Amino acid sequence: MGKVSQVIMIVLVGCSNAPSLQSDVATSAPEIERQTFITHPLPTTDDCPLDMVRINRFCIDRYEYPNIKGAYPDFAMSAFDAEKVCSDINKRLCSYTEWHRACGGSHGYYYSYGPVFKPGVCNDNKVYDKQPNWMLMFTPGWKAYARTLYKGEPSGLYQGCVTDEGVYDLPANVREWVKDGEQYVIPSGYWYGTMEGPPTCDYVIRSHSKGFASYEFGTRCCKSITDDTRENTSSN
């Protein structure tokens, strides 16, 4: 058995106790290349870049990576991919605590838009009709295959899927890698809702290895606010 096959078997066995994931076939798949998303830092306001929202002592991207309104969120990302894309633009992966705080907004709601689930306010009501071929993961053709399963929508398209602080698509669209201590986890729902009910801000998957690049896995980035950050902002 080759090394690639061994890796596939290890990951799939490790996920055997996890809830089964769902998928769908996209009717029009976006063309996404990660390297085109590396951008120059934007001017800052209120200690955060303009493409981020300040919450307490951290900044969080307004939209899912590449954090551009109207762009399709990136997908089929492992935790390694998520760490790298954030690091490349002088940001970092959000912690689970930060993500959860941002998702509920200043009121700590179960959903970004309020306390009660409203189907279709976010990208959470697509139709499931196909099980993915997981044996393609960790092969060169995985990203192209994952694109055929993609049901993400452009960032900001669902105007009601936003917190009172201005962060979009947190409980739906692509799932987002975050870090919880030394573990990488996946909170939130995606375009089919969650696997066990509505996509609340409390839902989190802890069963996948950090190399698991599922077709609906993406991310968004964060930055810490420090005394140095405030001093640099004031001097500008």
- pLDDT, one tens digit per residue, over 130-162 is 899 999 999 999 999 999 999 999 999 999 999
Over residues 7-25, the mean pLDDT reads: 36
Say which residue, 19 or 188, is predicted with more confidence.
188
| Cα–Cα distance, 122 to 160 (Å, whole number) | 7
pLDDT value for 15: 39
Q: For residue 125, which phi and psi values (nearest 5 degrees)?
A: -130, 35
pLDDT value for 162: 97
pLDDT at 72 exceeding the cut of 80:
yes
Cα–chain center distance at 207: 16
pLDDT value for 195: 75
| Cα–Cα distance, 63 to 130 (Å, whole number) | 28
On whether the CB atoms of residues 32 and 152 are closer than 8 A, the answer is: no
Q: Which DSSP helix (H) or strand (E) runs through 10?
A: helix 3-14
If phi > 0 it is left, if psi is from -120 to 50 it is alpha, else beta; for residue 189 that is beta
pLDDT value for 128: 86
Name 179's bridge partners.
95, 184
Task: Classify residue 195 as exposed, middle or buried by CB count within 10 Å of its CB (0-12, 13-18, 19+).
Answer: middle
